[in-house]
Structure 1
Amino acid sequence: MNNNQLGTKPHYRLLDGLRGVAAIIVVCFHLTEPLASSHLDNIINHGYLAVDFFFLLSGFVIGYAYDDRWGQLTIGSFLRRRFERLQPLVVLGMTLGAIGFYYTDSTIWPLIHTVPVWKLLLVMLIGYTLLPIPLSMDIRGWQEMHPLNSVSWSLFFEYIVNILYALGLRKLSNKALACFVVLTGVVLLHFAVTNPNGDVTGGWTLNAEHMRIGIIRTLFPFFAGLLLSRISRPVSISHAFFWCSLLVVIVLLMPRIGGADYRWMNGLYEAFCIILVFPFIVYIGASGVVHSQREAKLCHFLGNLSYPLYTTHYVLVYFYVAWVSNHKGITVWQAWPYALLTFSGAIVLAYGSLRLYDEPVRAWLRKKLK
């Protein structure tokens, strides 16, 4: 059975829109992050939780789209579909990151001066596969598994849970899946409240600690979303997009809780959001009704923009971070015009990437990978 014979199911429009809202907040988080002295005083303090929200959305959508199709679907055809969806923008993000690498010169990245072109190209080619590079090949100095496009670490874990789902976890009964979700939720809660940092951040470095964090952050939300897609019975809820968007904004913009003395309180807040609030938001979003053509167009636009915005924006953020680091002591009010310019450029870049590259390449791949 090829991909075209399976076709596609109707999208949850409101969930598409919520993905876009979260992606925009991710960009804003990365623009305010270099202006903060630590996670304790970042203006958009919990913006990184958008990644955990993406994982939950992904599990819900994967379950909805594929759970009842495995009589017609093979593991290979499922993975081809995921490859078609994810990989073109992975390649673009790495390529743009390589093009801009030597121009993001700053004292915070001293390694840039020492990186030969052949090593840059090798890291880019490895990045195309999403395989993480070892610390010995770090070319930026931030210990990222993908130093040309930092955010690609989450796509690495996205592939991992997609493969786990396809290879066998999709066969779990609802009861067994619920037990698995509870177990991974307990592990997530324990990590969040005992982590010395007081948060769930991590996953972007190829070492034991970050790999453990990445797995913890991925397993619960993805398979909780899968379980939710199986057992939820959506009802008609009015103005769901507004209320869900407001909840997403509140959760991700919430100031740090507990300060430096009671870090566990912030970890508890983040675990609460991932384990309870995010599934609630997804359920309400899946139950929502689109009330107007304007709302439908907005959700469609935000949904289409979300993935290219997420995968390409950090290419521009590298330039912005370099500029901030070269102007020590700059305030938010001094930096906002440059932040706004970077944000606007990220939107334009994402939309151009979608229309001029992602959509044509995916259409070509669908024909070639039948």
Structure 2
Amino acid sequence: MSTTGQSELRALTSVRGIAAWFVVLYHIRLSIAGLSPDWVAVFAKGYLAVDFFFLLSGFVIWLTWGDRLRAGRWRMVPQFLRKRVARIWPLHLFMLACAVGLALLLAATGRANPVDYPFGELPLHVLLLQNWGFTDHLAWNDPSWSISAELGAYLLFPLLALAIDWRRVPTWAVLAAIGALLVLLHALMADGGALNLGHDIARFGLRRCVLEFASGTAIAALWVRWRDTPAVPAWTSAGIAVLMLAGWAVDTLSETLAVPAAFAAMLLLLALTSGKRGNPLEIGLLHYLGEISYATYLGHFLLFVVFKLAFVSDANAVPPLLIALYLVLVMISSIILYHLVERPAQKWVNTVTLPSRLRKRPGEDVSELLAKVRRPLP
């Protein structure tokens, strides 16, 4: 994950990989034979990794595209959207095609579940519109709901970038905006009867993404502001994260408020400490897990469906050895999907020639636009 044309914040890439594996464990937790209730409870919160993804996405997109959109204004929007579509859509389409093939195979053998594979909703999934209020349940490749929500955030981001330059907003106001966005998320979910962030994803998923994504953009501005003197902000962020998680653990604070706030503080902490000597999140293996994390995230769910059909007799009691085999297959499939599908398709989409009127202006140097982020903040 590269930001602002400078050295990569490797720790954030690594955490993205760790978060993707928590989602994997969340989806298989009830199938692991002999898993203790305590570990089941831990893995049951794996869906919260998606909230970190949303915050991180806003963080990265603001750093990469905020200044470029403000400099090029509406002329840059088609290029921005093409880059984002290239990032998320090809692998999604490939996995959706795999799901269709699986559904046809199950239908041919009389085992298809129309709730899991509703062909009438397939166009929505192709266009990544399935989590915009058009459906009331997850289907086909369940994790893709968050990619649908991300697309909504991408479409709104140019409006946010052109309306607000967080660098020119006083620090207290940036902090207040982050707090207001997260409180609004809590209020909307609480008003709808949600006791946790995973409640009724078809209904709350899009607003959950958009508000956390917007919070991430403001957090990025704080990182730019404090990265040269990170000690006090880092310690403060760590304290906020601990307090929020402690309040949630003892049922004093609601998950819908405490966890996004804790993750926001953790994101800032991780960004401020990225690149520091001895940071364990900088090691090569963890970084590579982050590089292939999108393939892990989109690929593991359907793989588990196929794995259970092929090797499992009791889906509620899969032996640990088979679970280990499945996890190895997730890793192998993630590597294959990343190198043979995700990256080549992304490069191909990015090479498609845009009409001349949508290209950047002659002489417009992207590096000059990105360099603006390095300027001192007021």
Rounded Cα–Cα distance in structure 2 between residues aligned with 1:100 and 1:77:
35
Closer, same or farther: CA 301–163 of 1 in aligned 2, 3 Å: same
**Structure 2: unaligned runs, 5 residues or longer:** 232-236, 355-378
Closer, same or farther: CA 135–178 of 1 in aligned 2, 3 Å: closer
- Tell me whether 1:304 sits opposite 2:291 in the alignment: yes
Rounded Cα–Cα distance in structure 1 between residues aligned with 2:18 and 2:307:
22
Question: What displacement does 1:41 show?
Answer: 5.7
Question: What displacement does 1:267 show?
Answer: 6.5
Rounded Cα–Cα distance in structure 2 between residues aligned with 1:134 and 1:214:
8
Report the 3-state secondary structure (helix = DSSP H, G, I; strand = E; otherwise coil) of the residue aligned with 1:48. Answer: helix
Question: What displacement does 1:65 show?
Answer: 0.8
The correspondence of residues 109-148 of structure 1 with structure 2, limited to 5 A, is 111-112=113-114, 120=119, 123-132=121-130, 144-145=137-138, 147-148=139-140
Rounded Cα–Cα distance in structure 2 between residues aligned with 1:42 and 1:67:
39
Instruction: Tell me how large the CA RMSD over aligned residues is.
Output: 4.1
Residues 96 and 126 in structure 2, CA contact (< 8 A), matched pair in contact too:
yes
Counterpart in the other structure of 1:76: 78
Question: What displacement does 1:128 show?
Answer: 2.2
Rounded Cα–Cα distance in structure 1 between residues aligned with 2:217 and 2:131:
30
Question: What displacement does 1:270 show?
Answer: 4.8
Closer, same or farther: CA 224–126 of 1 in aligned 2, 3 Å: closer
Residues 102 and 112 in structure 1, CA contact (< 8 A), matched pair in contact too:
no
Question: What displacement does 1:299 show?
Answer: 4.1
Question: What displacement does 1:337 show?
Answer: 2.6
The correspondence of residues 250-265 of structure 1 with structure 2, limited to 5 A, is 265=251
Report the 3-state secondary structure (helix = DSSP H, G, I; strand = E; otherwise coil) of the residue aligned with 1:68. Answer: helix
Letter in 2 for 1:159: L
Residues 88 and 361 in structure 1, CA contact (< 8 A), matched pair in contact too:
yes
CA displacement 1:172-195 (0-9 Å, x = unmatched): 243476555333311223356666
Question: What displacement does 1:298 show?
Answer: 2.5
Question: What displacement does 1:50 show?
Answer: 0.4
With the length of structure 1 as denominator, give the TM-score of the two structures.
0.73
Rounded Cα–Cα distance in structure 2 between residues aligned with 1:257 and 1:62:
31
Counterpart in the other structure of 2:373: none
Rounded Cα–Cα distance in structure 2 between residues aligned with 1:77 and 1:272:
36
Counterpart in the other structure of 2:268: 283
The equivalent position to 1:362 in structure 2, one of 323, 342, 346, is 346
Residues 23 and 50 in structure 1, CA contact (< 8 A), matched pair in contact too:
yes
Rounded Cα–Cα distance in structure 1 between residues aligned with 2:126 and 2:28:
25
Task: Quote the sequence identity (%).
Answer: 21
Question: What displacement does 1:90 show?
Answer: 1.1
Counterpart in the other structure of 1:227: 218
Letter in 1 for 2:145: W
Closer, same or farther: CA 268–91 of 1 in aligned 2, 3 Å: same
Counterpart in the other structure of 1:315: 302
Residues 34 and 324 in structure 1, CA contact (< 8 A), matched pair in contact too:
no
Residues 14 and 290 in structure 2, CA contact (< 8 A), matched pair in contact too:
yes
Counterpart in the other structure of 2:58: 59
Counterpart in the other structure of 2:101: 99
Report the 3-state secondary structure (helix = DSSP H, G, I; strand = E; otherwise coil) of the residue aligned with 1:200. Answer: coil
Rounded Cα–Cα distance in structure 1 between residues aligned with 2:336 and 2:309:
24
Report the 3-state secondary structure (helix = DSSP H, G, I; strand = E; otherwise coil) of the residue aligned with 1:220. Answer: helix
Question: What displacement does 1:349 show?
Answer: 1.1
Residues 13 and 290 in structure 2, CA contact (< 8 A), matched pair in contact too:
yes
Report the 3-state secondary structure (helix = DSSP H, G, I; strand = E; otherwise coil) of the residue aligned with 1:149. Answer: coil
Rounded Cα–Cα distance in structure 2 between residues aligned with 1:321 and 1:170:
48
Letter in 1 for 2:126: Y
With the length of structure 2 as denominator, give the TM-score of the two structures.
0.71
Report the 3-state secondary structure (helix = DSSP H, G, I; strand = E; otherwise coil) of the residue aligned with 1:95. Answer: helix
**Structure 1: unaligned runs, 5 residues or longer:** 1-6, 239-243, 259-264
Report the 3-state secondary structure (helix = DSSP H, G, I; strand = E; otherwise coil) of the residue aligned with 2:46. Answer: coil
The correspondence of residues 190-205 of structure 1 with structure 2, limited to 5 A, is 190-191=187-188, 196=193, 198-202=195-199, 204-205=201-202
- Tell me whether 1:274 sits opposite 2:260 in the alignment: yes
